[in-house]
Chains A and B, each alone.
Chain A
Amino acid sequence: MRGTWILIGMLTLIPLALGASGTGRSGATQVRIVGGSYQPLYSDARDSVTVVTPFLIDTRGVTRAEYRAFLAEHPRWQRGRVPGVFADDGYLAGWPAQPGAGEDTLLATEVSWFAARAYCRARDARLPTTAEWEFLARADEHDPDAASDAAFLRRALDLALAPRAGQPATGSGFVNAWGVRGMHGVMNEWVLDFNTAFAGADSRKTTSGDRSLTCAAGATATGDSRDYAAFMRYAFRAAAEARSTSRTLGFRCARDAS
C-alpha cells in the first residue's frame, strides 16, 4: 500500500519538477518565461501591444555538438544531402568533416530555417516566434523589460556591432534577467515567423506609412526608435529566405508552456 503511494507521489512530482525547467531529449536546459506584453517595433496600428503567453525557451543557442547529434540521427539533413530548396550552398559549409575542438560551445550556424525547424521538431520543440524572441531581447541582466533604458539599448547595439573578425561563433556572454544567454551579440537567430517581419529591408521604403523603415531611424515605427539593434534584427529577418544560411545565423528552440 505504501509502495503505491510512493509510486503515485513520484508520478505526480516528477512531471511537476520537469515542468518548471524542462530538458529536451537532448540539448539545452529550457526555462519557463511567464510572458507579458510590450509595444513591438513594427505593427499595423499605432499604440498596438504584443501579448506573449507563457513559453519555454532554450537558455542558450543550439551548439554544433548538439546539431551533429541530430545529424547522426537524421542523416537526410547532412551536408550535400539536403535539396537546394531547403538550404542554400552555404549549409554547414564551414563545418569540418570531423568534430573539432570546442564544439560544445560553438553555435550551430550556417543552418537554414528548414533545418533549424527540423532540429527543434526532433526535440519535440519548435522555433520561438518573433514576438517571443523580441520579448526576451528586452531584458538586461536584472530587469526583464529594460527596453526603455537608453543605456541598455546602446549596449545591445554595441554588442551587435562588435567586430566579428577572428571571433569564434560562441555567441555573446550576455545573460539576461531570465537566465537566457546570447540574446545580444553579432549572432542572429531564426524565428518561426521570420518572413512576416514588417520591415522592408530597404530602410527607406514607404509602403503604407506605418510599414516603413526609414533612414530617420524608423520615424513611423511604433516601438522605440532608438532601438537600432532591433532595426537590424528586423532588417535581417526581412532579407532572409527560409533556405538562407549564414555564419552569423544560428537558432534556439522553444516550447509551448502549460
Chain B
Amino acid sequence: MSKQQKNYGIAGGAFVILLALFVALGARSGVESPAGVPVPELPELKGVETAQMVAPPAVPSPITRDYATTVKVDLEVIEKVMEIAPGVEYEMWTFGGTVPGNFIRVREGDQVEFTLRNAHDSGMPHNIDLHAVTGQGGGAEATNVMPGQANTFTFRALQPGLYVYHCAMAPVPVHIANGMYGLILVEPAEGMAPVDREFYVMQGDFYTAGNHGEAGLQGFDFDKLFDEEPEYVLFNGAKGALNGDNAMQANVGESIRLFVGNGGPNLTSSFHAIGEIFDNVYVEGGSMVNNNVQTTVIPAGGAAIVEFRADVPSNVLLVDHAITRVFNKGALATIAVSGEERPEIYRHGAAEPTVAAN
C-alpha cells in the first residue's frame, strides 16, 4: 500500500471513530423534544405480563394492578371455514380462530408488545390496525405478515377507551367483511367499577354470494359489498353464536357490562336490548357516559360499553334496531336472565289495587 493510501486509511479510520463517538453521545435515552412541543407524559413501567387470551363472548379478568406494565400480546391469523348459519359455511379470516378476535385488555399507560402471526396455511398476507395505537396505520405498517411469518411491534396505550382492531391489508373491506376484527380495551388508570358479568359482542355484515340461508360453502360477493347490501348481519360471526345453547347467561339482580363493537365493514348499528334499558352507555367507547338509553348508535369501526342491571328474568335480546336486519339477516343475540319473577316490575294482567291517592 502506498504512503498516500496509508494516510487515507488512517484518516478514514479516525473519521469513523469520531462519527461513532458523535452517534453514541447523541443517542441518550429519553430524547428531548424540540422546545415548545408537548409530549405525553408516559407513566413508569414496572414488570412484564402476558395477555390473557380467551374466546368470545368471554373477556379477560378486570385489571387489578395500579401501575403501568409491559403486556405481551400474541395473536395468530387463521383462515378457516366456519358455519355462519345452519348449513351455511363461509371462509372466515380470523384473529385467533374466532370472529370476533380475542378481546385484548390492557391499562392506560401500558406498553404493549404485539406479535402478529399468520398461519402457514393462510393464502395471503395480513396485518393489524388497532384503534388504540397512536402510530403509523395503527400498527398495520409494522405487522405485514406472509403466511408462516410473524412480526412484532410495540406501542403505548396512551388513552383509555374501547377500541376496534381489524386487518388493514388490501382490499381492506374484504378482509374486514371476512371477519377480521375484534376489540381492545384500554382501562382507565383508576380502573372500572366491578360488575357481576362482562360479555363481548361484536356486530358485522357479511356478503355471501348466495342468498341468506342458502346452504353450502358460500363465496364472497363483491357487488353486494360495494352496494353495502349484506346477506347476513351477525353478532359474533354466526347466527347461533349467542343464541340457544350459546346464549349468554345471567341472573336477576346482577350488574351486566357489555363490550360491544361494530366491525362493519359498512353498516352502522342501532344497538338495543329488548326488555332492558341501558343504565350507562360509554358513548362510542370513550369517556362520555350517557344514562337511561334505549338504543345507542355504534358506528362501523366503533364500539360502546353498555351497562345495566338485570331486574327481571327474561331473554334479553340484543338487536340492531334497523330491525329488518334482525328478522331477515340474523342480527340477534340473547342474554338469558334467570331468577325470581318481579311482578312489581313486570307482570301479566291488571295492576294490583293500591292505596287511594289521597
Question: Is residue B137 contacting chain A, with contact meaning CB distance below 8 A?
Answer: yes
With both beta carbons as reference points, the residue of chain A lying nearest to B120 in the complex is identified as A90
Question: Is residue B123 contacting chain A, with contact meaning CB distance below 8 A?
Answer: yes
User: Is A89 a contact partner of B148 (Cβ separation < 8 A)?
Assistant: yes
Give chain A nearest CB distance to B75 CB in angstroms. 17
**B contact residues around A46 at 8 Å (CB):** none
Question: Is residue A200 contacting chain B, with contact meaning CB distance below 8 A?
Answer: yes
User: Is A240 a contact partner of B127 (Cβ separation < 8 A)?
Assistant: no
Give chain A nearest CB distance to B205 CB in angstroms. 16
Known: A154-B223, A203-B172. A163 touches B125 (CB 8 A): no
Taken together as a complex, chains A and B put the C-alpha atoms of A162 and B222 apart, in Å, by 11
User: Is A90 a contact partner of B124 (Cβ separation < 8 A)?
Assistant: no
- A201 contacts which of B79, B121, B144, B222 (Cβ < 8 Å)? B144
User: Is B136 a contact partner of A236 (Cβ separation < 8 A)?
Assistant: no
Known: A163-B217, A202-B168, A228-B171. A240 touches B123 (CB 8 A): no
User: Is B137 a contact partner of A239 (Cβ separation < 8 A)?
Assistant: no
| Contact sample, A vs B, 12 pairs, CB 8 Å cutoff | A157-B222, A161-B222, A164-B79, A201-B127, A201-B141, A202-B127, A218-B170, A231-B170, A246-B124, A247-B120, A247-B121, A247-B123
- A158 contacts which of B136, B137, B218, B219 (Cβ < 8 Å)? B219
User: What total of chain B residues lie within 8 Å of the partner, measured CB to CB?
Assistant: 35
User: Is A90 a contact partner of B172 (Cβ separation < 8 A)?
Assistant: no
Question: Is residue A241 contacting chain B, with contact meaning CB distance below 8 A?
Answer: yes
User: Is B121 a contact partner of A240 (Cβ separation < 8 A)?
Assistant: no
User: Is A232 a contact partner of B171 (Cβ separation < 8 A)?
Assistant: yes
User: Is A161 a contact partner of B174 (Cβ separation < 8 A)?
Assistant: yes
- Digitize B110-123: 1 where CB-to-A-CB distance is under 8 Å, 0 elsewhere: 00000000001111
- A165 contacts which of B91, B169, B170, B171 (Cβ < 8 Å)? B91
- Digitize A150-162: 1 where CB-to-B-CB distance is under 8 Å, 0 elsewhere: 0000100110011
Which 4 pairs across A and B sit closest by C-beta, in order of nearness?
Answer: A239-B125, A202-B140, A201-B144, A203-B170
Taken together as a complex, chains A and B put the C-alpha atoms of A162 and B123 apart, in Å, by 11
Which of chain A's residues 198-226 have a Cβ closer than 8 Å to chain B?
199-205, 213, 215, 217-218
**B contact residues around A164 at 8 Å (CB):** 79, 91, 123
With both beta carbons as reference points, the residue of chain B lying nearest to A244 in the complex is identified as B146
Question: Is residue B295 contacting chain A, with contact meaning CB distance below 8 A?
Answer: no
Give chain A nearest CB distance to B31 CB in angstroms. 23
Q: Please name 10 further chain A to chain B contacts, defined as beta carbons within 8 Å, in addition to the given A202-B168, A239-B127, sorted by A numbering.
A: A89-B120, A90-B147, A161-B220, A163-B220, A203-B140, A215-B168, A231-B171, A240-B146, A246-B122, A246-B147
Question: Is residue A170 contacting chain B, with contact meaning CB distance below 8 A?
Answer: no
Which of chain B's residues 78-104 have a Cβ closer than 8 Å to chain A?
79, 81, 90-91
**B contact residues around A188 at 8 Å (CB):** 124
With both beta carbons as reference points, the residue of chain B lying nearest to A188 in the complex is identified as B124
Question: Is residue B145 contacting chain A, with contact meaning CB distance below 8 A?
Answer: yes
**B contact residues around A204 at 8 Å (CB):** 129, 137, 140, 168, 172
User: Is A203 a contact partner of B168 (Cβ separation < 8 A)?
Assistant: yes
Known: A165-B81, A244-B149. A199 touches B217 (CB 8 A): no
**B contact residues around A88 at 8 Å (CB):** 148-149
**A contact residues around B141 at 8 Å (CB):** 200-202, 205
**B contact residues around A162 at 8 Å (CB):** 219
With both beta carbons as reference points, the residue of chain B lying nearest to A229 in the complex is identified as B171
User: What total of chain A residues lie within 8 Å of the partner, measured CB to CB?
Assistant: 41
Known: A157-B222, A161-B220, A203-B170. A239 touches B123 (CB 8 A): no
**B contact residues around A93 at 8 Å (CB):** 120
With both beta carbons as reference points, the residue of chain A lying nearest to B209 in the complex is identified as A158
User: Is B146 a contact partner of A154 (Cβ separation < 8 A)?
Assistant: no
Question: Is residue A234 contacting chain B, with contact meaning CB distance below 8 A?
Answer: yes
**A contact residues around B219 at 8 Å (CB):** 158, 161-163
Give chain A nearest CB distance to B224 CB in angstroms. 12
With both beta carbons as reference points, the residue of chain A lying nearest to B80 in the complex is identified as A165
Taken together as a complex, chains A and B put the C-alpha atoms of A199 and B223 apart, in Å, by 25
- Digitize B52-87: 1 where CB-to-A-CB distance is under 8 Å, 0 elsewhere: 000000000000000000000000000101000000
User: Is A158 a contact partner of B222 (Cβ separation < 8 A)?
Assistant: yes
User: Is B137 a contact partner of A205 (Cβ separation < 8 A)?
Assistant: yes
Question: Is residue A31 contacting chain B, with contact meaning CB distance below 8 A?
Answer: no
Give chain B nearest CB distance to A49 CB in angstroms. 23
Known: A162-B219, A235-B169, A235-B170. A241 touches B146 (CB 8 A): yes
Give chain A nearest CB distance to B151 CB in angstroms. 10
User: Is B222 a contact partner of A228 (Cβ separation < 8 A)?
Assistant: yes
With both beta carbons as reference points, the residue of chain A lying nearest to B148 in the complex is identified as A90
Which of chain A's residues 154-184 have a Cβ closer than 8 Å to chain B?
154, 157-158, 161-166
**A contact residues around B81 at 8 Å (CB):** 163, 165
